[in-house]
Amino acid sequence: MSEVDEVRYDDQGAVAVVTIDRQHRRNAIDGRTAEALVAALERFEADDAARVMVLTGAGEAFCAGADLTAITTLAPRAAGPDGPLGFTRRTSAKPTIAAVDGWAVAGGLELALWCDLRVASARARFGCLERRWGVPLIDGGTWRLPRVIGMGRALDLILTGRVVEAEEALAIGLVTAVVGDPVGHAVALGEQIAAFPQETMLSDRRSVYDGWGLPLAEALMLEMRYGLDVVEVGRRGAERFAAGEGRGGA
């Protein structure tokens, strides 16, 4: 398998499916794979027809984190703008969904946390397993995990390095669904998101990210400013509703 083939990009119209395929290393990432992930994200962001990206892994793992047998290929990326494992220091311009089937551990968990949403199979497993080897979380995990599941639960996972199975991940809010076919479910969810008026959806998403951590008054002002930028889209939608569309929750 060539290095290019280790990150596959599947254009499915409104949804782009990005698959890490290094099954011989449980989809662990080396430097070339990290670069390929950045290229995939940039391709997705440049394609106006692709509105949602699904990130997944081939075979029995989502991603086992950094390839510790090739750690020197990741070291130059540690101080860079993108993050060691690809794009983990960027914020995607459009929604992203992680479809987790199998292991999502160490940096693989951090990649899943980078996504807006996470869905999983019953065999999905999560954990900060780098704790066992003295490897730090440097792909956004210490920032994102507390915001997804809360400080107490995040510290439990970060300090103990224990494995979290799918049902517990659902119970603590780490994933939003446990399903038989996580990729298929994520693609269907992506198509649902892609069908909404995009300007206001993207504006609200941006408000969530940019407003996090701001004092309430500042966050509300930011929300209003972003909302006013797309108020015309909302006005047209309200007119369609008033004319009879969407009645009864349709």
**Tokens representing residue 173 in the block:** 């809010």
The active-site residue, picked from 3, 6, 60, 130, is 130
* DSSP E strand boundaries for the chain: 7-12, 15-20, 52-57, 61-63, 96-100, 103-105, 117-120, 125-127, 164-165, 177-178
130 catalytic residue (yes or no): yes
d(CA 63, CA 146): 20
218 catalytic residue (yes or no): no
Tell me how far CA of residue 95 lies from CA of 103, 180, 191, 209, in angstroms.
23, 22, 11, 12
Rounded to the nearest 10 degrees, the angle between the axes of helix 141-149 and helix 151-160 is: 130
Q: Indicate the residue type of 100.
A: V
Query: Would you give the distance in Å from CA 226 to the centre of its chain?
Result: 23
Q: Which of 173, 70, 163, 72 is nearest to 118 (CA)?
A: 173
Rounded to the nearest 10 degrees, the angle between the axes of helix 231-242 and helix 216-229 is: 70
d(CA 76, CA 175): 32
The active-site residue, picked from 6, 35, 110, 245, is 110
Q: What is the CA radius of gyration of the chain?
A: 19
Catalytically active residues, by annotation: 110, 130
